[in-house]
Amino acid sequence: MISMPVIVFSDLDGTLLDHYSYDFSPAKSTLAALRAINVPVVLNTSKTLAEVIDIAAEMQLNGPMIVENGAAIYLPESDSQVPPLAESDVRGFSRQTFTKPHAYWSSLLTEAPEEFQPLFTSFTELGIEGIKQRTGLSTEQASKAASREFGEPVVWHGNDTQKQAFMAYLRERGAAPIEGGRFMHVCGECSKGDAMLWLCDYYAKQVYNNNKVTSIALGDGNNDVPMLEVADYAVRVKSPVHAPPTLQRDGNIITTEQAGPAGWAQALTSLILPN
Ligand SMILES: [Mg+2]
């Protein structure tokens, strides 16, 4: 039996949201059951705050959220269970940040040497129309995705040697660029795993009287590896489009049989909601 208190940390796309339809209805009853026993479900995603707010509301989640791949934690001021984070009054949230703001990373790109300039297009340069073309998002979704507060995604046009030189330039200036499917994300040294551990520690001290928190992380992709490696329980939610991410850790790894929210619900039911 898993030891309480437990916090669930979940990726969105392909994990709690269906890869194709973005539906989460197969997980609805499990979300309700977790709410009933007071187990927090913390969304831990590469999405921006603007994108996550609506999704969290639909899921009736009103606790903390980790955005932009571990760049920051936002806590609604209406959450009465968890004391406010360091920075207060950020549009109805308190906030803990783990990296420099968007302006820093974006100026790193505009100030990059001449030779690199033709080789990439940043999110800012793409604009809403460009983002829509690249991602298939609607105008509203694209504008929410564009409202980045921390890292800046770029489309890379150059070859691999040029890319290595560009990434070296970024790393020398404190960036830890991550290569995603469509974009390279230029941001500081932060991760879903570091933000998760920070929040577990915060809950232990501030909410659970110094009782150790048991963390369960659920994800389907490579950017989930940092949280899957360090969680007490790692749940690899099956993806319809790629193999489960490779983990180095030993033990407490669950790989779901079903994809997306159905797999999500199945894993959590077997871990914390037996019978
Ligand atoms: Mg995912």
CA-angle at 138, arms to 137 and 140, nearest 5°? 115
Q: Domain spanning 102-186 has what CATH number?
A: 3.30.980.20
Residue that is written with structure tokens 């609604």 in the block: 76
Query: How does pLDDT run along the chain (275 residues), one tens digit per residue?
Result: 899 999 999 999 999 999 988 999 999 999 999 999 999 999 999 999 999 999 999 999 999 999 999 999 999 999 889 999 999 989 999 999 999 999 999 999 999 999 999 999 999 999 999 999 988 889 999 999 999 999 999 999 999 999 999 999 999 999 999 887 678 999 999 999 999 999 999 999 999 999 999 999 999 998 899 999 999 999 999 999 999 999 999 999 999 999 999 999 999 999 998 75
Distance 11 CA to ligand 1 centre (A): 6
Domain definitions of the chain by residue range:
6-70+190-272, 102-186
Distance of alpha carbon 129 from alpha carbon 29, whole angstroms: 38
Non-local CB neighbours of 121 within 8 Å, separated by 6+ positions: 130, 154, 155, 157
User: How far is ligand 1, taken at its centre, from the CA of residue 62, in Å?
Assistant: 21
In whole angstroms, give the CA distance from residue 113 to residue 19.
Answer: 38
What is the model's pTM? 0.92
Residues assigned a catalytic role: 11
Give pLDDT, residue 115: 95
To which H or E segment does residue 260 belong? helix 260-272
Tell me the CA–centroid distance for residue 14 and ligand 1, in Å. 5
- The third-level CATH classification (topology) of the domain covering 6-70+190-272 is Rossmann fold (3.40.50)
Contact predicate 244/238, CB 8 Å: yes
Q: Report CA(211)–ligand 1 centroid distance (Å).
A: 30
Quickly list DSSP for 170-206. Answer: HHHTT---EE-SS-EEE--S--HHHHHHHHHHHHHHH
